[in-house]
Structures are given as C-alpha cells and as structure tokens.
Amino acid sequence: MASRKADVTAAAVRRHFPGPLTHEALLGVVVLVELGYFAAAGSNFLSAGNAAEVARASVEIGLLALALTPVIVTGGIDLSVGSLLGLAAVLMGAMYRDLGLPMGAAALVGVLVGVAGGALNALLVTRLGVPPLIATLGTYSLFRGVAEGFTGGVRNYTDFPAGFLFLGQGRLPGGVPAQLPLLLAAAIFFWLLLHRTPAGRGLRAIGFSPDGARYAGIPVARRLALVYVLSGLMAGMGAAVYAARLGQAKADAGTGFELFAITAVVLGGTSIFGGRGSVPGTLLGLLAVALLQNGLRLSDLPAELAGILTGVMLIAAIGAHRVFSERSRG
Amino acid sequence: MNLRLAFLLALAPLVVTGCQRGAETKGQLTVAMMPKNKGNPYFVSCHKGAQEAAGPLGVKLLWDGPTETDPAKQNEVVEAWITRGVDVIAVSVENKEAISTALRKARGQGIKVVTWDADAEHDARDLFVNQATPEGIADVLLEQTARILGGKGSFAIITASLTAANQNEWIKHIRELLGAKYAGLTLVDVRPSDDDRKRAFDETQTLLKVHPEVKVVMAIASPAIPGAAEAVKQSGRADVKVTGLGLPNASRPYLKDGVLDSVVLWNTMDLGYLTIQVASALAKGTLKPGQTSFTAGRLGPLTVAGDNVLLGQPFTFTKENVDHFDF
Amino acid sequence: MPRRSVISRLLAHHRREASVAAALFALLALVAVRAPGFFRAANVRDLLVGNAPVLVAAVGMTVVILARQIDISIGSQFAICGVAAGLLAKANWPMPFVALGTVFVGALLGAINGGLVAGLGLPAIVVTLATMVMLRESLRWATEGIWVQDLPVGFQWFGLGQEGGRFAVVAVALAIFAGFAWGLRRLNAGRGVYATGSDPEAARLAGIRPRRVIFGSFVCMGGLTAFAALLTSIQFIDVQTNAGVGLELRVIAAVVVGGTSTSGGRGTLAGTLLGVALLGAIGPTLTFLGTQAYWERALQGLVILVAVAANAVPMARRSGRGVS
C-alpha cells in the first residue's frame, strides 16, 4: 500500500535526521522521558522498592510478550495466550489440591498444559492451514471456556505452599523479585533464538514471504509449529508465576493479558506484517507501558489515562516506523 | 548529535512542569480508596459518599481501581499506594486470597487497612466496614423470593460473571439456605450476565421459555436487574416477578411497573461515607480495637462487632419508598 | 468436461457457506429432537430481534475483511454510539434525527480508523487496537459508568410500540443486509472492495482507488456499528454506557466462520448471515438442551474451530500451503 506522498515525506525526514535512528533508540528516549517526568511528578517513583514491584508485576506479561515476538515476526499472531495461562493455572491448582500432587509436579503439569495448548494452535495453523488470527480466536474462547467449565466458574485454588509462593512474592538478595531471573532467562533465550540462530533468520524470512522461505529450503511448518508451541510454553510458565504472585488460581486468570503483550511487542518495533522484530524492543515496549501505568498511579492520575496514552504511543510507534523505515511495506 | 541534544533539551521543560502534582498540606491524612471496578454506578455512588465525608474531615481522598474486573489489577494498585505512601488503604475486595498478600504487606509498613463492601482475610486488615454479610445477603434475597412465591416455587438466578467472587459466595450461601431454611423453593438455573444488560436480557428471555415454571428471577448484579426486568416485561408474563440486588435509579421504572417486586441493597453513599469516617478515625487513633460503638459523623452511633463496623441492615427498595433515593 | 448438476456446481463454488449451513442445520436438528420448544414463534422472534444488531455489524465487518483489513474497535464504537443516541434523545431531538446523529457519530469514529489506515498506511489491526482502548477508556472517564437514564418515552422501540418496534428492528437489519448484498455484487464500489482486497496493486492499475475503498470500508463499518448500537438501544428504556464489550470478537468470528477469508477478496454476505445465525444460535440452543452455563464458552470456541478447520482443510490440500 505504498503511498507516494508518505514516501516523499519519509525521505525528507530521513534527510534531516541523519544517523541510525532505530526504533529501539526512539523507544529508549520515551522510557527516559517517562522516568524523568514521573520521578518529578510521582511519589517515590524512582525508589528501589517501586522498581522491584513494577518488575514483579510485569513478569507474566513479559513472558507472553517474549513468546509473541517470534510469532508476530512470522506474520502470525496468538490471541489465546491469556486464556491458556488461565487454563494452565486452574489445572495446576487442581493437580495440587484435588489430586494431591507435590507442588513442583503440579507446576510442571501446568507448563505441559501450556505446551499442549500451543501444540493445538500449531496444529491448526500448520497442518490445517487456518489463519493464525482465526485459529487463536477460536482457542481464545476454547481455553478460557474449558477453564470455566472445569471449575464451574466457581472453584478457586488457593493455599499453595510457602515455597511456591516465594516464586511469586519473595525477594532474592538485593531486593530482586524472585521471578525476575526467569524473565531474564527467557529474554536471553528468545534473543538468541531470534537474533543469533539460523532458525531465527528463517522466522524472519517466513514473515517476509512464506513461499519464498519454502523455496529457500526453510522447513516452514516446523518453524511455525515451534513458535506456537513456545508461546504455549510461556503461557504455562506464566501461569505458575501468576498463581505464585497472587496466591490463587481461578478461571479468569490472565484475562486481557494478550492485548497488553501484543501492545508491548508492536511498541517494540516488531512489524505486525511480519519479517521484522526485536526482542530488546519488546522488553523496552513492555517497560514503556508498565512505567506509564505505574507512574500515572503514583502521580494520583486516573487509570483511564494510562489506556489512552498507551493507545497514543501505539499509533505514534507504528507511525514513526512508517516514516523512518527504509523500506515501506504495505 | 544534534538530534540527541534536541531530545535532551525537550526533556528539561517536561521535568519542570511535572512538579505540579497536588501537594499535600502538612498533617493532612491521605486515604486511598479502591472499588472493585471504577465503571460501575454502584461504586460511583460510594465514591460520592466518600467525598462527602472527606471534605469536612480534611482527608485527601485518592480514588483508583481497575476499570474492568481484573483479578490481578487490585494488587498492583495497592502496591503502588504502598510505594507512594498513604495513611490508610480502603479496598472493596474482588479476590479475597489474592489481595490479602498485598494488604498484609501494607500493614507491615504501618499503613492502616480497611476493607469495605467485601472483606479480605481477617489478618490482612484492621477493620471491615460491613453493610451485610454474605449469609445475610443470601437470606434477605431468599426471604424476598419466598414471600413472592408464597413459600413454594421455582426461581432462577442471573448473576454477574461466572467467576465473580462475591456473587459466587452469595450463591453458595443461597444453596445452603435452600436446604436448611427454604425447603419449598427450587433453584432451577444460574445464568451469567457478564455485567452486560443486554446479556441479562437475552438470558432471561431464553430462561422464561426453557423453564416456564420459574416464577421469580433473582438478578444479583446491578446491570442484570433492568435487563431481567425488561425481558420479563416484554414477554408479557404477568406471573413472573423479578427481585435481587440493584440500584434505585435503574430499578425505579420497573418497580413502578410492578415487574420488579423489590430490590435489596443498602445506602451505598452511606457506605462510602462511613468508610472514610472509619479510615480517618483509625489513622488518628480515635477508633481503637475493642470499641463496641463508633460515632460516624451524620450517621450517628453505630455498632462495632469485633473487627466489623456495621452499617446497619440491608435495605429493601419498593415501589413506595424508591422515590426518596437518588443513586 | 463432464456436465455437473446445478447443485453440485453451487456446492463447489460455495463450499465454505455450505459447510456452515450444514453445521447450523445439524445444531437445529439436534434441538428439534431434544427440545422442540426452541422453534415456538416467540423464541424464534426473540432470537431474530436479539441478533439483528449483530448481523448489521457483521455486514460492516464483512466489507472491512473483504478489503483485507480488520477492525477490532467496534465494541468501543458501539458503546459510544449508544451513549450518543441516548444523549441526543435526552436533548429532545426527534427520533429520526437521533438516528441520523448516531450514524454520523459512528461514521466519524470509522473515519478516524480509516484515516490512519488508508491515509497513513498503518496496519489496521494495530490502529484499531489503539482506538479500541482509547475510545473505551475515554468513554469510561467521561461517564464514570453512569447510564443515560430518564429518556423520553418515544425512545424505546422508536416510539412504534413493542410489536411495531420488533418488526422494525428485524426489517431494518434485513434491509441493510439485502442492500449491501446487492451493492457488493452490482455496484462498482462493491466490486472495488473485492478487487482491493484480493490485490490492491492490480486494483490500482485497473483504475480503482484502493485507499479510497479502504477508507470507505472503515467509515461504513463505523456507520453500521452505529446502526447496531441504535437497534440495540431502542429495545430498552435507558442506555448502558459500558455496552458492547466483546462485540468485535463475536462479529469477527461470525464473519470468518461464514467463509470470508482474512487474506481479503473472498467471501459472501450470505456466508456472514449463516455465521451470525450459527453463533447466535449456540447459546440459546445449549440452554434449551440443558447445558450448564459454564460450558458454553468452550462449546462456542469448539464450534468456531471446527467450522474454520473444515473450511481450511480443502484449502491446504489444494494449494499445498500451510499458512494463508
């Protein structure tokens, strides 16, 4: 959808702003502006305690956003991650409380449920050729529905052992939230996958042109299956962190998480059309939204403003990319 | 290089203008109050009552909460308030177990914690401003239903969402009381409205056809009352009545019509008003544990039962008295 | 070339619509056997009236998806348009002008999306994700959840009374459906939508203006969402300010289940009608069959998946592609 006027404008802008103005750099500036503004306007915004709590609350969404990055890079999407998190959480709770499994085994079951859900998405997309938007729209309802059916909507799994709750509520030496190393490990994994392996390059090729990738010898179906299964795996892991943080597992766990995660990924510079994406960008995008929400709260400003400003940031992000990118896709 | 300088220069005025957050006057109490979700007229009226109390008491009132019923969001708001530093946190609890972790942390940092409308775990808060226990609410609802049915008959419930914690607790007590106290009544089905009036309308419409023996529809979410009442009205089934929990303004037309028999509630503005009175007295030390009575401004002396400050009895709105209220 | 009967040719060209029709038929057959009360006149009438607004919105979504776009902000647009209708009625505008005003508001909201997508070339899903959040949060902030109440008596049923109003709602929805079905097929603008969706470059070379078509499809979507909000609001005596949550997913599912392809250029409004009917029937049929409410969402998800998987299998086999 190349528009000539926009291209001319883009070229003009590029002439006036020399140097590599990458998307991450711009986002980094936004984060700095937020830090600066809220440090002044909010109470105790820049404290270590606040930083720890913002990090703690962002881990589950962060895991989902990291997994969504390669999915969106391939030109796909996964709307079911929040629902899958809910399903994994209640099944994990049921394993522990109703079947008496030790907590570690129950958490593992939760993770496996995530993997199974991801595998279902993979099957629908690769074997049955269902477009990812629609496949995951269906599983979005299915996973949440099974969680509701299984619990009757009513059952709430609580009373997890203290050791498990430490994962979500505890602090490591130095004040670091206990779940943060998990997010960092996942970030390193996905960064390596997307930016340092041939598989990652293959994902970008698939996003750019699935047929071209196939002709180039990339095993498209296998790569796609991988990213959807990884997405499910992250949902399962997120479920364990969620249940540990809140101390409960109910059928509505993870409601709305998918939108937050997709926002972080797109803000971070990953193109929704596929072919281009960045894990550091996703983390920056997540940080930008989390800081916005937290900063507004600490400045006694209403929660609705966070949503509105996030929407503005999203449009600015894709708008800026349209102007600054070398190659305009459409 | 020019670019980076430009951005840094742009930051400076933003930082300066950012220092305009409303400063607190010294000695002013800050009470942070959170509803289950902000977009519900029920909580809007509680907010009004709270504002009424905050002014004369010199309390700075912070009002924030989830805009949708998100089970995890309440925790994040409490965490932010702990970081910000407030004197009292007052929460209408959506998820008892989840929020208690955060509330205990707040208490550990010297912040007073009050729950209102819906309680947390007992060790997570100093006091609970109680307008009605879940058992009490269930009992009043069944009482109304039994009266309409003449002690014997079938009814159905339209609830909020299937996972709504408070509604689920009321339903649990309703089922228990059916066996113990209201043996002549039969609960036929429980349908969700997801806090959407149209959904409540559709579910009630279908319900009336699938279960023609149902003569009372008990709607226990505020958007569900007008939805269910409109459905019964449009069906022309004069033998079916609606009751439940709702707000007077939304219920008024249907109460006048006769479709809606009665609506159980309490004065939500008084609830908000009392919450701020309690929060303020608690922070100032004028309300101490072990007290059995508390004088709450214009509400007069109220009973304190253990760690519960009792607002009073649930109130039943009917055709006759609904005009006296505006919320 | 062997001669095929009309029926088999019809089925081959409309495989997707045929499979949705089959699913709908199977569902209705099941309920006919187990709970025939479903087919009583009062129930059928209520289902028609209840789903008419969804059909109207689905018509708009079909146009948008045919143009290879998507709009996930219609739930928020629906809420705003409902509030607009209520406020205009409270300001004592005559009902026909209330309707016009509401549709204008909807078209304006659609134009915002259209401007960003067609004008600036931004991806539709992200733009409408942003507008979805911005619109709903702004509305919440402004109204604080307070319903628009004390509307004039003529608001409900457009002043036509219950029987007349119900008839009007269904008639208007069907008229819109028929009008768009005819327009998509016969008008140049309609064919332009199909052309733009299947290949914008080819369309441009053929003299169609893809950006204009895309802008128009979003404006259309906004206007039709406003109609849907109007048709819903007038069934009641007041307006809920937080309505329409989840509408976009319901409508997109109906359109997609009905056979419209998200890669653009392929689909029919007949399929959309079937999709709306199928998804609208699931809830009530399950209630008639005695299913517990907490299994409904899972079954809906299952129906969506089976419907789209059944559509997709022949595709995958034919073209040998794993991803559309």
**A272-318 pLDDT, tens per residue?**
999 999 999 999 999 999 999 999 999 989 889 999 999 999 999 99
- Cβ–Cβ below 8 Å for A307 and C137: yes
- Cβ–Cβ below 8 Å for B40 and C145: yes
| pLDDT, position C320 | 42
- Cβ–Cβ below 8 Å for A137 and C122: no
pLDDT in tens, B79-130: 999 999 999 999 999 888 889 989 999 999 999 999 999 899 999 999 999 9
Amino acid at C60: G
Sign of CA dihedral C32, C35, C36, C42: negative
Mean pLDDT computed over A22-48: 90
| Per-residue pLDDT at A42 exceeds 80 | yes
- Cβ–Cβ below 8 Å for C237 and B44: no
**Interface probe, candidates A14, A33, A146, A156, chain B, greatest B C-beta count within 10 A:** A156
For residue A168, give how far its alpha carbon lies from the nearest alpha carbon of chain B (Å).
11
- Cβ–Cβ below 8 Å for C323 and A149: no
A147 Cβ contact partners less than 8 Å away, ≥ 6 residues apart: A83, A86, A87, A89, A90, A251, A253
* C46 neighbourhood in chain B, CB within 8 Å: 205-206
| Per-residue pLDDT at A16 exceeds 70 | no
**B210 shares contact with chain C (CB less than 8 Å):** yes
Considering CB atoms only, which of A42, A53, A148 is closest to B162?
A148
**Average pLDDT of every residue of chain A:** 91
| pLDDT, position B2 | 52
| Per-residue pLDDT at A1 exceeds 50 | no
| pLDDT, position B15 | 45
For residue B258, give how far its alpha carbon lies from the nearest alpha carbon of chain A (Å).
33
Alpha helices in B94-222 (DSSP H): 96-108, 134-149, 165-180, 197-210
CA B61 – CA B54 distance, rounded (Å): 7
**A246 shares contact with chain B (CB less than 8 Å):** yes
| pLDDT, position C48 | 96
* ipTM of model: 0.92
| Per-residue pLDDT at B11 exceeds 80 | no
Q: Give percent of chain A above pLDDT 90.
A: 81
> Counting one residue from A and one from C, how many pairs have CB atoms under 8 Å apart?
176
- Cβ–Cβ below 8 Å for B71 and A158: no
- Cβ–Cβ below 8 Å for B191 and C144: no
| pLDDT, position A9 | 65
C288: nearest CA partner in chain B = B210
Sign of CA dihedral C250, C255, C256, C259: positive
- Cβ–Cβ below 8 Å for B210 and C147: no
For residue A211, give how far its alpha carbon lies from the nearest alpha carbon of chain C (Å).
8
| Per-residue pLDDT at A248 exceeds 50 | yes
| Per-residue pLDDT at A195 exceeds 80 | yes
Question: Tell me, what DSSP letter sits at residue B236?
Answer: T
| pLDDT, position A168 | 92
For residue C165, give how far its alpha carbon lies from the nearest alpha carbon of chain B (Å).
12
| pLDDT, position C323 | 42
Residue bearing the bigger pLDDT, B185 or A8: B185
pLDDT in tens, C80-137: 999 999 999 999 999 999 999 999 999 999 999 999 999 999 999 999 999 999 999 9
pTM: 0.91
| pLDDT, position A5 | 64
C241 Cβ contact partners less than 8 Å away, ≥ 6 residues apart: B39, C79, C82, C83, C139, C140, C143, C145, C146, C147, C148
| pLDDT, position A330 | 41
- The band of B42, judged by pLDDT with boundaries at 50, 70 and 90, is confident
Mean pLDDT computed over A241-264: 94
User: Which stretches of chain C drop beneath a pLDDT of 50?
Assistant: 318-324
- The band of B67, judged by pLDDT with boundaries at 50, 70 and 90, is confident
CA C292 – CA C295 distance, rounded (Å): 6
- The band of A6, judged by pLDDT with boundaries at 50, 70 and 90, is low
- Cβ–Cβ below 8 Å for A135 and C305: yes
- Cβ–Cβ below 8 Å for B168 and A153: yes
β-pair type (B127-130, B153-159): unpaired
**A304 shares contact with chain B (CB less than 8 Å):** yes
For residue B71, give how far its alpha carbon lies from the nearest alpha carbon of chain C (Å).
17
**B234 shares contact with chain C (CB less than 8 Å):** yes
> Counting one residue from A and one from B, how many pairs have CB atoms under 8 Å apart?
127
**Interface probe, candidates C242, C249, C285, C288, chain B, greatest B C-beta count within 10 A:** C242
Rg of chain A taking only CA atoms, in angstroms:
20
A304: nearest CA partner in chain C = C137
- Cβ–Cβ below 8 Å for B83 and A298: yes
Q: Within the 161-200 window of chain C, which residues sit less than 8 Å (CB to CB) from chain A? A: 200
Q: Within the 52-71 window of chain C, which residues sit less than 8 Å (CB to CB) from chain A? A: 70
Supply B306's token pair.
């253990």
Beta bridge partners of A249: A157
First vs last Cα of chain A: how many Å apart?
4
**Interface probe, candidates C116, C138, C144, C323, chain A, greatest A C-beta count within 10 A:** C323
**B83 shares contact with chain A (CB less than 8 Å):** yes
Buried b (16+ CB within 10 A) or exposed e, A189-218: ebbebbeeeebbebbbbbbbebeebbeeeb
CA B17 – CA A326 distance, rounded (Å): 36
